[in-house]
Amino acid sequence: MSDLYRSAMQARLAKLPQLPMESEEEEEDGDGLGALPSTMAPPRIVIRSSQRPRRPANPGFSAISAEGYFEQAIQVDVPASRLDVRVYYTAPKPHKGLGSVMVCHHGAGFSGLSFACFAKEVTELTGGECGILSLDARRHGKTLPTGDSADEDLSLDVLVRDLFNSLETIYPDPAAAPSFLLVGHSMGGAVVVRACPLLLERKYKVGGVSVLDVVEGTAIEALPHMPMILNSRPAGFDTVEEAIEWHLTANQIRNPTSARISVPSLVVPAPPNSSALRSKALVWRTPLHSTGPYWEGWFRGLSSAFLTARTARLLVLAGTDRLDKELMIGQMQGKFQMEVIAGVGHMLHEDDPSKLAETIVEFWRSNERVVIGVKKVGDL
């Protein structure tokens, strides 16, 4: 399979408690945010034992802190899902009413930190009026099962319920909650679209739903090629710097700043006595091969669910050749807004967070007035 074809196929898919700083003598797998102390140093994973010489660390690929991109990192106990959910959050500073929060859900294999640069841009563009909440899904990032529960099930219904349960835990009273604008990338797009009717049924205010670079038809078509694509990925890395470098040189992420923030959350220390991976100090937090049984379930029926969502709809793509027939018809009928961002890959929210923020903030502004019941000029 050529690099060009592989890239093309990859582009079609892919009061709360404060969290104390995490540090260990041998290794640190933190995301660099913690409770956001002002004196925190950039995160770094250090593995002292090694079976072969390692390349010197390249400062250009070193991990950097998410401080300044979100206000806080919190762990939210979500009993209904039996999860301890990692949430990255910047609270809204509303001028009127209860404000708005963009709720962001990442794609398979990534984490809530993939929205870090986007979050900062949104905060700056809105003057903090629109908050940002980005979470780690189960089996991703720093979200962990509680007690002796398992978190292996990544089926769509489970992921949707996790998102709903998390928001209900954080905002238990719909009447006192801010309005939500749901933003989901790839797998996350399928999750937020299905979560929308559940939130509306519970009387939460949803100002819109935005799906990033995923279309049912092209996603389903790409699934047979995914095992071959995934076989081209490294099984692990010696250092976090190496993981960041691979994501950038392989064009998985095209924005060095975003990669240096988000990639450290994608790897964990290799299990001890792992014969197959003992030569690598770090392995994937979420091996994508293991998610294969859920792929079709994520995307089947997505176009119909998107078109029938009872809120404003925005589809943002990294290319114009990705609409399936159902969405093409829906677009001609004016059922949703579509925007294309040039010069980006599948990780468009990391590649060009500024342009995406401009697009989604404009979408938010045009629909938020309707949600909160503010009349437009001329309607008085």
Residues with active-site annotation: 186, 213, 346
Residue 130 backbone zone (phi > 0: left; psi -120 to 50: alpha; other: beta): beta
Six-digit token string for 324: 């399936």
Six-digit token string for 52: 């072969």
374: which residues sit within 8 A by CB, 6+ positions away?
A: 96
Q: Please give the angle made by the CA atoms of 138, 140 and 142, to the nearest 5 degrees.
A: 95
Distance CA 119, CA 68 (A): 10
E strand or H helix at 131: strand 130-135
Tokens 């790897």 label which residue? Answer: 267
Six-digit token string for 129: 């009026």
Q: CB 59: neighbour CB atoms within 10 A?
A: 7
Check residue 132 and report its DSSP letter. E
The DSSP line for 170-208 is: HS--GGGSPEEEEEEETHHHHHHHHHHHHHHHTT--EEE
Q: Do 105 and 184 meet the contact criterion of CB atoms below 8 Å apart?
A: yes
Q: Calculate the alpha carbon distances from 146 to 15, 85, 99, 170, 285 in Å.
A: 20, 10, 32, 17, 18
